[in-house]
Structure 1
Amino acid sequence: MNKYTKKIENEIYYLIKKKNPTIEEISKELNISYDKLKSYINKSSKKYKKSLIKKIRKAKDEYFIDAKIKIENALIKKSLGYYSKDIIKEIKTDKEGNESKTKKIVYKYNPPNERAIIVFFELLKKRYDKRLEYIRKKREERENNNKINIRVGFDN
């Protein structure tokens, strides 16, 4: 198999975007020889077909952006406190020896986590500091663009 189709390239893209697997895991998932897949990826990064490498990079970026969003959402959830649903299974035996199974749903409140709140505010502070730095740089650029250079003197 010298050339892979767009279909296989797209499957590689979606696998990486979903799970971020290794090349070995991708080869097992797609039933492709590890060596052939690795050489194909290496050739595509060096020579003629950079589209696969671009797709792989894009998929990895999307995977990490999704992971970052999920982590931030979990952090916010722990910072605010949340209700969780617990299912308790009970087995009761009556006097005759008959067992009856019951499921009981219990809602439990998990209070805000102090460490999560601290981490959340540190994250907000870093974002705010980055934003201020960006604004400062933009202001300096505007000021530098508005400066007028005047040379006074004589060239001999």
Structure 2
Amino acid sequence: MTHLVRAYDLLVVGLAVIAGAILPAFMLIIVYQVVWRNLGLQPSAHLFTFTEYGLLYLTMLGAPWLVRERGHVYIEVLTAYLPVRARNALSRIVSALCVVISGVLALKGLDITLTNFASAEMDVRSLYFPRWILIACIPLGFGLMAVEFARFVFGAELFHSGEAGIHE
């Protein structure tokens, strides 16, 4: 079981690293496009399409790690004023709700991905690209987010600290 947990943890961190690598790639693409346009040349239209795809992948691959690190935006005003037992219960309820929502989105994303795969649907922009490849990150990201939120439901740690304000 320890090896499975360790492999899972490496997967979440690895996906976050990939998401982090997409950001400098965006920067390089933007610099390239600006330079080419300033030289009076036409940059590749494919780069814009890949940037659009990259935004979705960046979001979906990095989101599970953000859940783990409590990096998503949330407001602690209510939980800061609740008694400890009520705050703990509310945090677990909110996390359980997040598990359900993430799970539903993961299943719907998987259904759409498999449908697109089975029908061989193509995304037509500057190039023909199998649509299932674009959508595949959605069930992966939301599925892993569901697992991460479940860790806050059933684990020792809570998602909400109860500390209002910025604590860095």
TM-score where L is the length of structure 1:
0.29
Greater RCO between the two (CA within 8 Å, min separation 6)?
2
TM-score where L is the length of structure 2:
0.28
The structure whose residues are more often strand, as a share, is 1
Q: Which has the larger radius of gyration?
A: 1
